[in-house]
Amino acid sequence: MTDSQPMAAFRLHIAKKGLRHTKQREEILSALFSSKKHVTAEELFDILRSKVAGIGYATVQRNLNLLRECGLAEEVKIGNQKARYEPKRGKEHHDHLICLKCGRFIEVNDPRLEKLQDGLAKANGFAPLRHKLEIYGTCAKCA
């Protein structure tokens, strides 16, 4: 069973920090990267219960935070809803079109947008680190 790319990165991060490798961590990472949509901790927890007997909700939450810290997961938070997580591969970036009717996330990326944002920041003496663009509206299926 050869490690996937993200799994290797996770192991490396864990080793560097003097943390320990556990079955739970392995399964949480695997489940996140297998998920086809933006999942909540709870949804991930429900998926994992059938794979890892006795796994706890707190462990899922904790490790989603850990994955976020090492750049393998990203959090998407809409208002006061529960946070959703998506796997992050490399340095790729995308923004979201979020349908207010069905809740679907459409992922988009436009280099012109990114460039404009950088220019806007620098014009204000601002050093940008990251950004979040969310466009809310109605998707094609719900129109």
Partner DNA sequence: CATCATGATGATAATGATTATCATTATCCA
Partner DNA sequence: TGGATAATGATAATCATTATCATCATGATG
CB 75, min distance to Mn ion, A? 10
Residues of span 65-104 touching DNA by CB under 7 A: 65, 77, 80-83
Residues of span 34-63 touching DNA by CB under 7 A: 40-41, 52, 54-59, 61-63
CA 4 to chain centre: 17
Count of residues binding DNA (CB under 7 A)?
Answer: 27
CA 74 to chain centre: 3
5, 128, 137 from 2: Cα distances, Å: 9, 38, 42
Closest CA to 108 of 91, 95, 93: 95
Closest CA to 140 of 102, 84, 108: 102
Contact 84, 76 (CB under 8 A): yes
Contact status: 30 vs DNA (CB under 7 A): no
Query: Closer CB to DNA, residue 62 or residue 94?
Result: 62
Q: Which does 110 bind (CB under 5 to 8 A by kind): its own copies, Zn ion, DNA, none?
A: its own copies
Site string for DNA, 10-29 (x = CB under 7 A): ----x---xxxxxxxx----
Query: Closer CB to DNA, residue 83 or residue 121?
Result: 83
Give the span between the Cα atoms of 6 and 87, in whole angstroms: 9
CB 80, min distance to its own copies, A? 8
Query: Closer CB to DNA, residue 41 or residue 72?
Result: 41
